[in-house]
Structure 1
C-alpha cells in the first residue's frame, strides 16, 4: 500500500474569506490552498495527501473561512494570518 506524501498547505490569501452561509448546508473547505474556488474545494488536492474539511452551517449568516490555511480552528479564521 502506498501513501501520498503530505504537503504543506499553500496560503491562498493572507486574510479570511467572508461567505454568506445557509443553515443546514454543508460546505467543503479547501485545506490545501490550491483550489481555484477558494475557500472551497474543487478537487485540486488530489495527490497532496490533504483533504477538504466538511463544515455544516448551524444558522444563516456570515462566516469567515480561513484563507491562509494556518488556522487552529479549521475551517474558520482564528487570526493566524496576522503572523504571516
Structure 2
C-alpha cells in the first residue's frame, strides 16, 4: 500500500472563488453584531403594580413599549434580539417593577436606577413610529 501512495502524482489546483456582483439596491442588509441591543431607559424609577397570582405577564426588556412596564411588542421593530420576560406570580401582590431595564433581578427593581450610569443617562423619548 505504501508503494501505491508514493507512485501517485501530486497535482495542485488553484482556483479563486468570487461572488457575483450585486447592485447596492439589491444587497442584503447585514447586522454587524450578533449581540442583542442594549435596552433604552424609559423611566428612572420603578413602576408600582398590582399583580394577580397565576396571571401571565410580559415585562418589557427593551424599553420601547408604550405600556410600561409591560410589553406591547415594540421590540419586534425597534429592538430585534430582545424579547419580553414572561413571568407568573404565585399570589396576588404589590410589586415594584424595574423602569430603567438594567435591574439584576428582573422584572423587579433592585435599585440600579440610583447608580450613576442610569442617573446620568438620557431618558428615551417615545415616538409614534
TM-score, normalised via structure 2 length: 0.60
Point out where structure 1 has 5 or more consecutive residues left out of the alignment: none
Structure 1 residue 5, shift from structure 2 partner: 5.5
Structure 1 stretches (4+) deviating beyond 3 angstroms?
2-5
Q: Does 1:27 align with 2:80?
A: no
Point out where structure 2 has 5 or more consecutive residues left out of the alignment: 1-29, 119-129
The answer to which structure has the higher strand fraction is 1
The answer to which structure has the higher helix fraction is 2
- What is the aligned counterpart of 1:59 among 74, 80, 91? 91
What is residue 42 of structure 2 aligned with on the other side? 12
TM-score, normalised via structure 1 length: 0.91
Find the aligned partners of 2:62 and 2:108 in 1 and give their Cα distance.
Answer: 14
Larger Rg over CA atoms? 2
What is residue 77 of structure 1 aligned with on the other side? 109
State the Cα deviation string for residues 41-62 of structure 1 (Å, max 9, x = none): 0000014210000111111120
- Cα RMSD of the aligned pairs, angstroms, is 1.7
